[in-house]
Structure 1
Amino acid sequence: MTTTSPSELHRSAMSGAYLDHLAGEAAAGLPTAAALESAQLGLTYRDRFLNGPAFLGETERRAVVQDLRALYGMLRSLPERVFGGSLTALAQAVGMDPRQTALITRSARSGVLRPLGRADLYHDGTAFKLLELNVTSALGGADNADINRAMLRYPPLDAFVRGHQLRYRDTLDCVVRTMYAECAAVIPADRPPVVAVVDTVENFAVVGPILRMLAGKLADYDVDGIACDLGQLTYPDGRPTVDGRAIDVVFRYFLVEDLSDAVAEAHLEPLLTAVEQNKVGLFSRLDAELYGNKGTLAVLSDDRHRDLFDAAELSCIDRLLPWTRYVRAHTTDLGGSRVDLLAYALAHQTELVLKPTLLHGGSGVVPGWTVNAAEWENRLISAMEGPFVVQHRVRPAADPFPDGAGGSRDLFLNWGIYLGDHDVIGDDGYAGGLVRGSADPAAGVVSLATGAEFGCVFHDGGPPPIPASWPPTPRL
């Protein structure tokens, strides 16, 4: 019989315990105040913060991380299991065009790729359900530990965290450790590496201030950071340089979806050549995004591939992943019965979400319950045979949060749980958490664009200390 440690609180119970704790406190102020004073956090999150953190119990934390690790392993095995060992075939299957396919298959031949990503999940009151898995170095919210540190300046929260021996994980620290591991062959041994945080010319015009702030923050992790766009890189002697400074690692913030035009490809070409010649590290490789593509989730979910996975793997898929299918004119399995996909999707509009496979940040996502029947039919027909999937709706359970006025309010959370390589970051690979909260249980996409508020995550029970191999200071 499994028993629960008296010191361990379930996630919902912990939230309730924190509300009870606040009821007995007379301290003035809000935990968001310190976060609002931070110029960096204000720029990234536009001063939209929850009035308290989210809490993650140790048992559920370990369970979901174990499932995410298993799922990531299955995704990495898809070229061999499903596509005859062809990365090109997988790229084409998930909707990449010929230019993108050529770039990612070329990138896959250089360097190494460690597990690193952010899972976006809902908790349905029983378990976590995966909405998507972002596998890339360009992970939004990686500075989430700054929210933890800012909110701990609120005395009641600090007392609660200390009393329950809660912890948080510094996601950016885990990201930097992963970069060191992936690019070890080019990182100098006698000084901090010079790392360029790079996006496309078009994107940098918008997100440049945030990337400059990130580059400056890398100094806290023994990294000399510079922010620039791909067009600012020059290549004397074949090595990328910015303003006369030679670069050791390019920290990639551009995505494969940004590389569909000849201009971006021309900017990228000398960089890939430098990577192939081992003159610079690329973090992370372009093929990382193959495994974070929504289309790969449809491949895992597809009933036609179930015989390629063992019982434990199928159990993980069924537990974590909602029913997900490519939008195709075919019949598919639904609970043991065969259904026509289009007819089923039209008849069950309010229980489905239409998603493009290549876009990110909620772009192009159409929750069926947010549009009328005519628009839903038009969207489905337009998506047919294209790079789109439909996924069963997950209804998130409510979490109680302080309302800032002495009471509480129910919020519905999109959980961002970060995953890393346990051999690099220690313990089971948990790399931190960030939540986005909405008061609307029917919100189609819980995001900054739809008015979500952001919060940090505290957990209990671990993890143990980071492996001692990490160099905390420049290695001499």
Structure 2
Amino acid sequence: MRDDAFLARAIDRYHELCADPSLAGPSVVQDFVQAQLDAKLTFGGVVQCRSLRPALLTAERLRELERAVELLWQAFRQIEERALRDASLASALGLSAQERLLAAVEPGYNDATVVSRLDTYFRERPRVLEYNADSPAGISYQAGQAALMRQTPAFARFCQEYRLEEMHADRSLRTTLLGVWHEFADARRRDRANADEPSSVPTIAVVDLSDAATGPEFELVVRDLQAHDIPAFIAAPEDLRYQSGELSAFGKRIDLVYKRLLVADFLAHFDLRHPLIRAYADGAVCVASSFRCTIAHKKKALAILKDPARAGWFSADQRRAIETLVPATWAADSFAGSDGAARAQNELLLKPNDAHGGDGIVLGWDVDAETWLAASAAGMRNGFVVQERVAPRMGTYPVFDLAKPAAGVSLQTLIEDCNAYVFRGRLGGVLTRLSQSQVINVSKGGQAIPTFVLHGAQLGA
């Protein structure tokens, strides 16, 4: 890519600035850590961003990521729509009986998935790791991290020389939720001519388990919504009540549920008689994303994308994107008879169909043959997928140790991913995570950092 040399020079310059103690010394680190704690930019109580440099994405790479998001979202949408009509496809995806019943409920607006995240390693092109169609985390952390990064001395000096553009995933989330609500309210107005007129501004409940590690993020979401005159609050599923056609919590009516609790996790704790499900089935509340989002969230959806027998479902542009961007993926129970069976163990990994946070992943190159065989057998029994290894992108960052902030920063080369927040098929922000492990997740010790777009013109040049 022609912008990559420019990006490399810019990163080198940033690291030169970080060598100056007045710009990136221990006191700067300590202030940055404290600012994140004060702003509640934590996951499970731990500060997420432990780098004094943000991720930088060139405008050229941003355009390529936008195109990938658009085409692959359309392809996943094809799978969602077909799975609603085809019970055999729903079965192949691994949808449970309860998930199928929930998917059959009309959500009151178009698009099964309105907020999602496409996780990639972006080297020459964005190669897909997985598609988080159900309640992706981290959106509101990004805005807070970016604001604090702007206040650091090294970043401020860098901005005197380079033009950076911030990405606003929080803004995209807010406008998407409002758009979904207006679509839902219009449909309800048409269908229920004698019903009360829906509010033009919904009251939004952010719903997840009460002990969710991302609880601080929910506070950021609520704060942003309230700052834009949208009533909002946090509730756990146990707080919800459904009476007289109205879903409520703490005595407050709920118009829209921003569902942060994954469908599989919800069903692990509650049944279909839960107030949220009854209100959703009655069309009394808007839920975003809908319970249909679990269709594309299944890891087996990637296997469906790569199945030659189903290639005709997709447009020529979508097929090209699938071929070049999505790694080979197979259902574990059919892998032995597939074209991937001859591949070496160190070229493959196993993933649960429905887990999140990096749980249950087995890297073939990280375990011995006996462990791999046992994991493969268990994967066949438990509906896992087998996936082709994707080469990671490495990045060098000025990072610090939370246990030793007085030591300042040191340059470390880490694995970095590039994860696109997708709002009804459009790129609305990017999450970058850093880790020493290829199971790259903040719940596994990785860190999340803000991402800025680096434009191809040096100021004053």
Identify the TM-score tier after normalising by the shorter chain.
Answer: 0.7 to 0.9
Tell me the amino acid that sits aligned with residue 449 of structure 1: S
Q: Secondary structure at the match of 1:358?
A: coil
CA offset at residue 286 of structure 1?
A: 0.8
Tell me the amino acid that sits aligned with residue 456 of structure 1: P
Contact 1:72 1:291 in 2 (8 A): no
Match of 2:203 among 177, 194, 197: 194
CA offset at residue 353 of structure 1?
A: 1.0
Contact 2:333 2:383 in 1 (8 A): no
Q: Deviations over 1:356-385 (max 9, x none)?
A: 111111111111122221111011112226
Which 10-residue stretch deviates more, 220-229 or 8-17? 8-17
Aligned-partner Cα distance in 1 for 2:125–2:451: 17
Match of 1:319 among 324, 327, 339: 324
Aligned-partner Cα distance in 2 for 1:79–1:435: 27
Q: Secondary structure at the match of 1:254?
A: coil
Aligned-partner Cα distance in 2 for 1:35–1:186: 43
Aligned-partner Cα distance in 1 for 2:333–2:380: 5
Q: Secondary structure at the match of 2:280?
A: helix
Contact 1:370 1:444 in 2 (8 A): no
CA offset at residue 305 of structure 1?
A: 2.5
CA offset at residue 394 of structure 1?
A: 1.5
Change (3 A) 1:358 1:245: same
Output aligned runs, 1:108-147, within 5 Å.
108-113=106-111, 115-123=114-122, 125-147=123-145
Match of 1:237 among 229, 238, 244: 244
Aligned-partner Cα distance in 2 for 1:263–1:17: 53
Change (3 A) 1:194 1:32: farther
Equivalence for 2:77: 76
Aligned-partner Cα distance in 2 for 1:115–1:13: 37
Change (3 A) 1:103 1:309: closer
Equivalence for 1:104: 103
Output aligned runs, 1:19-418, within 5 Å.
19-23=15-19, 26-29=22-25, 30=28, 33-38=31-36, 39=38, 40-43=40-43, 46-48=46-48, 49-78=50-79, 86=85, 88-106=87-105, 108-113=106-111, 115-123=114-122, 125-184=123-182, 185-186=184-185, 192-199=201-208, 203-207=209-213, 209-210=215-216, 211-212=218-219, 214-261=221-268, 263-267=270-274, 270-329=275-334, 338=339, 341=341, 344=342, 348-384=344-380, 386-403=382-399, 405=408, 408-418=411-421
Match of 1:456 among 426, 450, 453: 450
Q: Secondary structure at the match of 1:325?
A: strand
Contact 1:322 1:392 in 2 (8 A): yes
Equivalence for 1:445: 439
Tell me the amino acid that sits aligned with residue 124 of structure 2: T
Q: Does the alignment pair 1:435 with 2:404?
A: no
Change (3 A) 1:236 1:23: same
How many aligned positions are there?
431
Change (3 A) 1:295 1:233: same
CA offset at residue 430 of structure 1?
A: 2.4
CA offset at residue 149 of structure 1?
A: 0.4
Q: Secondary structure at the match of 2:420?
A: strand
CA offset at residue 217 of structure 1?
A: 4.2
TM-score, L = length of structure 2: 0.84
Aligned-partner Cα distance in 1 for 2:312–2:439: 33
Tell me the amino acid that sits aligned with residue 444 of structure 1: Q
Change (3 A) 1:432 1:10: farther
Q: Secondary structure at the match of 2:302?
A: helix
CA offset at residue 87 of structure 1?
A: 5.3
CA offset at residue 306 of structure 1?
A: 3.0
Change (3 A) 1:31 1:12: farther
Equivalence for 2:423: 420
TM-score, L = length of structure 1: 0.81
Contact 2:18 2:24 in 1 (8 A): no
Which runs of 5 or more structure 2 residues have no equivalent in the other structure? 187-196, 401-407, 457-461
Tell me the amino acid that sits aligned with residue 298 of structure 1: A
CA offset at residue 407 of structure 1?
A: 5.2
Contact 2:242 2:278 in 1 (8 A): no
Change (3 A) 1:179 1:80: closer
Contact 1:117 1:418 in 2 (8 A): yes
Change (3 A) 1:314 1:64: same
Aligned-partner Cα distance in 2 for 1:365–1:205: 24
Q: Secondary structure at the match of 1:205?
A: coil
Change (3 A) 1:448 1:45: farther
CA offset at residue 261 of structure 1?
A: 4.8
If asked which structure has higher relative contact order (CA below 8 Å, sep 6+), I would say 2
For the aligned residue pairs, the C-alpha RMSD in angstroms reads 3.0
Q: Deviations over 1:114-171 (max 9, x none)?
A: 6431111113x32221101112344334421110101111122023235322111121
Change (3 A) 1:304 1:14: farther
Tell me the amino acid that sits aligned with residue 288 of structure 2: F
Q: Secondary structure at the match of 2:95?
A: coil
Aligned-partner Cα distance in 2 for 1:310–1:191: 37
Contact 2:134 2:263 in 1 (8 A): no
Change (3 A) 1:109 1:147: closer
Equivalence for 2:190: none
Q: Secondary structure at the match of 1:215?
A: helix
Aligned-partner Cα distance in 2 for 1:416–1:279: 34
Q: Secondary structure at the match of 1:50?
A: coil
Q: Deviations over 1:384-440 (max 9, x none)?
A: 264211111122132121245575221211222212247xxxxxx3211222112x3
Which 10-residue stretch deviates more, 214-223 or 314-323? 214-223
Contact 1:355 1:388 in 2 (8 A): yes
Contact 1:362 1:445 in 2 (8 A): yes
